[in-house]
Structure 1
Amino acid sequence: MAQVKICGLSHPEHVAAAVDAGARYLGFVFFPKSPRAVLPQQAAALMGDTPPGVARVGLFVNPDDALLEQVLAQAPLDMIQLHGAETPARVAEVKALSGLPVIKAVGVAEPADLDGLWDHGLAADMLLVDAKPPKDATLPGGNGLAFDWRLLTGRKWLKPWLLAGGLTPQNVAEAIRLTGAPGVDVSSGVETAPGQKDSDLIRAFVAAART
């Protein structure tokens, strides 16, 4: 069964829905421009009752060391997700600074973009294959956009990976079938409006991905 990450959580009832449904990863966004952003103290409260075996992931976009240290001092993260233009060298720096595994997101729109998965696979502990955002986008992810999943058919990467980008309860099973993804990540696909998660959609997504 595919592992599931629910990203952009900001309310206790949605965290509980994700855990109860069987999500393996819970994502908390520390990027102020996002409608899903939370403060470190908010995230700490949301993470308080996370059971063993469920990883708490902090999402950052091109963070400096000061921001990372501020968040880590307050929120008990298990992993860090880098969703900006971080280089493999910066990924390695963040791993050393935090002492935590790092997920690196790589945007894909065409075959040439797949090279980034090999480059970052040398430094990151896990990869997140997402749709490349439009040039005028204000967010690096969570835009509800999909890419041609057939680009990933039959491919192997150096590290474990999650598929993201435009996934919904209706299409996640097909996306897994086409790509062979061992895990999936969703944010906008379980929302009724940007930043507004829906517990029923969360449960439906996890159920579809795991079957």
Structure 2
Amino acid sequence: MADSRVKICGLRSVADVAAAVAAQAAYAGFVFFPKSPRHLTTDQARLLAFAAPPGLMKVALTVDADDATLDAICDAVPLDMLQLHGHESPERVAQVRARYGLPVMKAVGVADEGDLAALTEYSLAADQILIDAKPPKGADLPGGNGLSFDWRLLVGRKWLRPWMLAGGLTPDNVAEAIRLTGARQVDVSSGVESAPGVKDERLMAAFVKAAQ
């Protein structure tokens, strides 16, 4: 099994970006969602994007953002990918891809087998799919809640696009999650934090090492 590529989401400082690079993460996620403790303004994100070396994929996470919001983000921040983490339809995913000319990753929440059909549907519209734990009813955040789902649901399944596993991953469980699901890519946010929105460079390094 090849090393799994790691996305560290919710970076908030130049030091966070440096720690992600030192840990050998493949993707850096910037969150544009005011309810999140990891939310950035476009000015903050621009600084972080310019601090990122070539080769680190810079991903903007948005939640049901309209064109005006996405225009403002894409105009201000040099990005490599857009991550849609709300209730965007496959049609909306296709629109965003066409409008911005950037690869689009669509997050899909999974709680049980009934949620898997949506993965096939979205894999027709997006460049990648992010398979995340479905948030609890009434949750403020669509992701980054530190919750996992039953990874056995994914065993032996294939989709048309590359996919990434998210939801409740930590340095302690990521190797097992990869072993069970065959994930070639994994995403972490709260699992490498010492407090909500506060990244811990030692946990980041431990997570990437465990994923590899």
Q: Normalised by the size of structure 1, how large is the TM-score?
A: 0.98
Distance in 2 separating the partners of 1:137 and 1:192: 21
Distance in 2 separating the partners of 1:63 and 1:83: 9
Q: How far did 1:12 drift?
A: 1.2
Q: How far did 1:41 drift?
A: 0.8
Distance in 1 separating the partners of 2:138 and 2:52: 36
Aligned with residue 115 of structure 2, among 79, 91, 113: 113
Aligned with residue 56 of structure 1, among 55, 58, 76: 58
Counterpart for residue 12 of structure 1: 14
Does the 8 Å contact 2:194/2:200 carry over to 1?
A: yes
Aligned with residue 68 of structure 1, among 60, 67, 70: 70
Deviations 1:145-168 (A, max 9, x none): 000000001110110010000000
Does the 8 Å contact 2:14/2:51 carry over to 1?
A: no
Aligned with residue 183 of structure 1, among 182, 185, 188: 185
Distance in 1 separating the partners of 2:76 and 2:138: 33
Greater mean alpha carbon deviation, residues 129-138 or residues 49-58: 49-58
Distance in 2 separating the partners of 1:205 and 1:12: 19
SS in 2 for 1:185: strand
Counterpart for residue 209 of structure 1: 211
Q: How far did 1:49 drift?
A: 2.8
* Residue identity in the other structure for 1:64: D
* Residue identity in the other structure for 1:194: P
Query: What value does the CA root-mean-square deviation take over the aligned residues?
Result: 0.6
The number of equivalent residue pairs is 210
SS in 1 for 2:96: helix
Counterpart for residue 198 of structure 1: 200
* Residue identity in the other structure for 1:172: V
SS in 1 for 2:51: coil
After TM superposition, where is structure 1 displaced by more than 2 Å over at least 4 residues in a row? Answer: none
Tell me if 1:89 matches 2:91: yes
Gaps of 5+ in 1: none
